């Protein structure tokens, strides 16, 4: 139990969890912005940043979730026309989109009018766009104004999101913990064997005394 506690504490310490996630409806989200001087960040950079925050790019699974995000974005005062990267893409199937964050196909769509005809059907990403104070889905080439990270408590996901340095730390910690375990086990067995040996001597002592008395 103590080993598992140490592992969990080290896992948390090894991740970059400085992001403050906001509660929106039933979920926790973080809106990041890497655009500087007109330069748009890459989708893979956004995904890596979310991973570093023990989260994944957004997966919009219900219409209610989309509405909650829309209200939150409007409350933040973000400008109309802003686009937001999500975990959606059509790389698994050039016809259908799916959410990488949950590994599931889209359960509903709310496309920006006319946006589906903007691309030629090749593998594209799925972004959100604020248009006329409403949030829509639209295909994109993976370059947006913002990106949205979605936090879900999952030990397995946290393990997958660890950076290389954290993996090395965990590997070293695991080796040290196993060494401590085997040393403790060996020490316990040695003490038990010594104690058993002493106990056997005490049990045999009356018999030895009786034998000596009989010989006399």
160 closest CA partner among 87, 56, 69, 58: 56
Per-residue pLDDT, 114: 85
- Between 197 and 9, the higher pLDDT residue: 197
In a domain, 179, yes or no: no
In a domain, 33, yes or no: yes
- For the segment 169-177, the average pLDDT, to the nearest whole number, is 73
CA dist., res. 21 & res. 99, Å (int): 20
CA dist., res. 28 & res. 50, Å (int): 13
> 204 is written with which tokens?
């045999």
Per-residue pLDDT, 187: 76
Instruction: Flag whether pLDDT at 212 surpasses 70.
Output: no
The pLDDT tens digits of the residues spanning 14-65 come to 444 444 899 998 899 999 886 554 556 789 989 988 888 889 999 999 999 9
Per-residue pLDDT, 13: 42
Instruction: Flag whether pLDDT at 83 surpasses 90.
Output: yes
Only one residue has tokens 């140490």, namely 6
Helix axes 164-215, 2-13, angle to 10 degrees: 160
Lowest mean pLDDT among 7-11, 137-141, 144-148, 160-164: 7-11
- Whether residue 102 contacts residue 61, with contact meaning beta carbons closer than 8 Å, is answered with yes
In a domain, 90, yes or no: yes
In a domain, 212, yes or no: no
Q: What pLDDT band is residue 103 in, cutting at 50, 70 and 90?
A: confident
Q: Is 135 exposed, middle or buried (0-12, 13-18, 19+ CB in 10 A)?
A: buried
In a domain, 31, yes or no: yes
Where in the sequence is the domain holding 44, given as residue range(s)?
A: 17-162
* Total domains in the fold of the chain: 1
In a domain, 96, yes or no: yes
- What phi and psi, each to the nearest 5 degrees, are found at residue 57? -60, 150
In a domain, 200, yes or no: no
Q: What is the domain-level CATH number for residue 40?
A: 3.10.100.10
- Between 116 and 164, the higher pLDDT residue: 116
In a domain, 106, yes or no: yes
Question: What's the distance, Cα to Cα, between the start and end of the chain in Å?
Answer: 58
- Between 163 and 147, the higher pLDDT residue: 147
């Amino acid at each position: 139990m103590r080993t598992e506690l140490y592992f969990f504490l080290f896992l948390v310490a090894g991740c970059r969890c400085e992001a403050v996630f906001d509660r929106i409806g039933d979920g926790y989200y973080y809106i990041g912005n890497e655009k500087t001087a007109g330069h748009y960040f890459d989708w893979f950079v956004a995904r890596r940043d979310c991973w570093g925050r023990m989260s994944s790019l957004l997966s919009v699974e219900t219409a209610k979730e989309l509405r909650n995000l829309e209200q939150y974005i409007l409350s933040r005062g973000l400008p109309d026309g802003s686009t937001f990267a999500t975990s959606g893409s059509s790389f698994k199937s050039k016809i259908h989109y799916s959410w990488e964050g949950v590994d599931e196909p889209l359960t509903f769509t709310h496309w920006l009018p006319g946006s589906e005809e903007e691309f030629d059907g090749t593998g594209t990403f799925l972004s959100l766009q604020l248009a006329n104070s409403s949030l829509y889905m639209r295909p994109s080439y993976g370059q947006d104004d913002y990106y949205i990270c979605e936090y879900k408590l999952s030990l397995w996901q946290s393990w997958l999101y660890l950076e290389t340095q954290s993996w090395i730390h965990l590997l070293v910690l695991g080796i040290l913990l196993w060494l401590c375990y085997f040393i403790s086990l060996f020490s316990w067995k040695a003490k038990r064997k010594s104690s058993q040996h002493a106990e056997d001597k005490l049990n045999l002592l009356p018999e030895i005394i009786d034998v000596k008395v009989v010989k006399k």
